[in-house]
Structure 1
Amino acid sequence: MLNHSAGIRPQTRQRVLDAITELGYRPNQAARALVTSRSQVIGVLVATRAAAYGVQKMVYEIEDAAGDAGYRVAIATCLSDDVSVRDAVDRLVAQAVEALVVVGPQAGVFNRLTAHPLAIPFVMVASDRHDDLSVSFDQVEGARIATRHLIELGHTRILHLAGPVGWVEADARMRGYLAELADHGLAPRPVIRCEWTADSGYRAACEVLGTTDVTAVFCSNDQTALGLLHALHESGRRVPQDVSVIGFDDVPDSAHYRPPLTTIRQDFAVAGQRAVGMLLAQLRAAPPPPADPVRPRLVVRDSTAPPG
């Protein structure tokens, strides 16, 4: 009946459906999996506990895209070390997931997975790879766009507040910053490493801004930029008249910073949708969709201007 079997009279079918509604019946997915040998479940492994806006947005999109394709989602989070990653994978495999999306923003997660081959299809998101098993962002190009924007405004003394060591995004954005400065014959300031938090950006700014002559700062994410803006305000330095600030990610709140933040927008929704598309192609033995990196774009607001 629930599988739309033929040969059942319409009146009988309707009586059964009415009874299902009255009793609040729900299909037993575990029992169905035993019969069909398919769970219709996709696992999502988030290899970080520092789940900021981008990670959350991608997971939401993965869940929606999987649902549209008739799949449910099981989620596990973990740290990025080998033991944590393997334990999380084992938890998901124990739930009979048919395939796996790995949101692994830290370097080495992909290698840890491939060191212990999985028996199910998987796709990496936010990795530094560009192949049929990966969905990546063009982080280097995004950082170059950010740095180029400041240079085109006339800034030559540009500081970079980079993300933490070992993170794919942080390292790629730092490379983009350095490459763009080099292309314009400009010397970089010593890069300052921060965590992905406003507190970290605030502390870094308090330590360095009193001893440097920079006129612009490129922050590796918008939360770091928020802390920087706080420190600049406390020190009496105006943004953008005294110091221009640009962030990265375009979190929803960045348009409401004081001043509204110029930043680099990443399309996290597209990344989540692509990940599910790649998995479905593997499950159906179909040709994979294009693996081009998700392209960033500049969003200009009020925190950047020519040097004062």
Structure 2
Amino acid sequence: MADVAREAGVSGQTVSRVVNGRLNVDQATRQRVLDAMRTVGYRPNSAARALRYGQFRSIGVIMGVVSTFGNSRTLDAITSAAVAKGYSITLMPVTRPTPGEVMGAFSRLDEQAVDGVVILIEEHELDQSEVEVPDGLPVVVISNPRSGYPMVDTDQAQGAELATTHLLELGHRTVWHLSGPPHSYAAERREQSWRATLRRHDRQAPPVVVGDWSAESGYVQGMKLCADAAVTAVFAANDQMALGLLRALHELARLVPAEVSVVGFDDMAEAAHFWPPLTTVRQSFAEVGRRAVDALLAEIESGERHVVSVKLPTTLVHRSSTAPPP
């Protein structure tokens, strides 16, 4: 750092401010210091800084399937929120979300020195055994309400209620449900809320058909479900399955929404460009990621864990895929 200070013609204190991301350095001086750092080949030693300041400025993320739409969008949001706060991200995917796999992920993150961990795993397998978190490590979970740690999630039940109520208010006698996989907390809460909403309106709940979040499963299950002429309204647990369902309806020559109405969940950007444009439940992945990072940083800075549950509201986006029954 002394070499950088001499090269840039500034004090060591100014170099320290730039290295630590302080804002009280004018832009021209900051650039001069950064140029000098490159000239002399200086890079901040994160381990030394951690020993001095007690923080690594790094957040670990343990997550299951990265390729699903919801997980990838949430990870994007966590990363953006962390970077905005001056933190880096260390991603630790687990192939099978068992307690043993998660414990292994914690061990690997502990070796890489993180200040806290966000867990983005919603599978029920984690209920089968207690996951032992390293002492003193701040943790926030997304979606898993049974973890015993601070939790941030979309209000899944509210979203399913909005979708089901919308279809009933259009005049449909009941609503069929294309659910997500049974090991998913989100799928479980959406299905439970769909059933509860039908009960409140004194309607019979038809048998559930189960997908795996993919458009392919929506198509396969849609071909079976919508061959029944009694089906006039379907709530799909996510937009990707709704897309496959729409294809099945087109191939079965059932008009949407004249004969069958479809509602999805997520409001992915492409939903507005399905044919017809999809009525869906909007959830804010960006807000979930931001609030999870805020909760984790609050725990890191205070050294105290407050087990709170934050549920973010959803909204119904009404497009052209829903209408009164024939």
The TM-score with structure 2 as length reference comes to 0.84
Once the two structures are TM-superposed, the CA of residue 24 in structure 1 deviates from its matched residue by: 5.6
Give the alignment of 1:9-158 within 5 angstroms: 18-23=35-40, 25-46=42-63, 48-49=64-65, 51-78=67-94, 79-109=96-126, 112=129, 114-119=130-135, 120-128=137-145, 133-158=150-175
Gaps of 5+ in 1: 6-11
Aligned 8 A contact 1:278 1:289 in 2: no
Say if 1:50 and 1:157 are closer, same or farther in 2 by CA, change over 3 A. farther
Query: What is the DSSP-based 3-state SS (H/G/I as helix, E as strand, rest coil) of the residue aligned with 1:307?
Result: coil
CA RMSD of aligned residues (A): 2.5
Aligned 8 A contact 1:130 1:293 in 2: no
Q: How many angstroms apart in 1 are the aligned matches of 2:30 and 2:213?
A: 56
Aligned 8 A contact 1:219 1:248 in 2: yes
Is structure 2 residue 315 aligned with structure 1 residue 297?
A: yes
Say if 1:261 and 1:282 are closer, same or farther in 2 by CA, change over 3 A. same
Give, as a single letter, the amino acid of the residue that structure 2 aligns with 1:192. V
Once the two structures are TM-superposed, the CA of residue 122 in structure 1 deviates from its matched residue by: 0.2
- Out of 299, 319, 325, the residue aligned to residue 282 of structure 1 is 299
Give, as a single letter, the amino acid of the residue that structure 1 aligns with 2:79. E
Gaps of 5+ in 2: 1-11, 19-28
Once the two structures are TM-superposed, the CA of residue 49 in structure 1 deviates from its matched residue by: 1.6
The aligned residue for residue 193 of structure 1 is 210
Is structure 2 residue 20 aligned with structure 1 residue 3?
A: no
Give, as a single letter, the amino acid of the residue that structure 1 aligns with 2:318. V
Give, as a single letter, the amino acid of the residue that structure 2 aligns with 1:3. S
Q: How many angstroms apart in 2 are the aligned matches of 1:77 and 1:303?
A: 36
The aligned residue for residue 281 of structure 2 is 264
Once the two structures are TM-superposed, the CA of residue 25 in structure 1 deviates from its matched residue by: 3.9
Q: How many angstroms apart in 1 are the aligned matches of 2:145 and 2:32?
A: 56
Once the two structures are TM-superposed, the CA of residue 129 in structure 1 deviates from its matched residue by: 5.0
Aligned 8 A contact 2:152 2:291 in 1: yes
Q: How many angstroms apart in 1 are the aligned matches of 2:33 and 2:244?
A: 60
Q: How many angstroms apart in 1 are the aligned matches of 2:176 and 2:33?
A: 69
Q: How many angstroms apart in 1 are the aligned matches of 2:97 and 2:31?
A: 52
The aligned residue for residue 245 of structure 1 is 262
Give, as a single letter, the amino acid of the residue that structure 1 aligns with 2:169. E
Cα deviation digits, residues 40-95 of structure 1 (max 9, x gap): 1111111x225322222221221222222221111111121122222222221111
The aligned residue for residue 6 of structure 2 is none
Cα deviation digits, residues 212-250 of structure 1 (max 9, x gap): 511010001001100000010011111000100000011
The TM-score with structure 1 as length reference comes to 0.89
Cα deviation digits, residues 145-191 of structure 1 (max 9, x gap): 10000000001132100110110010100011101111111101101
Give, as a single letter, the amino acid of the residue that structure 2 aligns with 1:294. L
**Greater shift in the superposed pair: 206-215 or 196-205:** 206-215
Alignment size in residue pairs: 300
Aligned 8 A contact 1:145 1:298 in 2: yes
Query: What is the DSSP-based 3-state SS (H/G/I as helix, E as strand, rest coil) of the residue aligned with 1:293?
Result: strand
**Greater shift in the superposed pair: 59-68 or 211-220:** 59-68
Once the two structures are TM-superposed, the CA of residue 38 in structure 1 deviates from its matched residue by: 2.5
Q: How many angstroms apart in 1 are the aligned matches of 2:318 and 2:166?
A: 9
Give, as a single letter, the amino acid of the residue that structure 1 aligns with 2:244. G
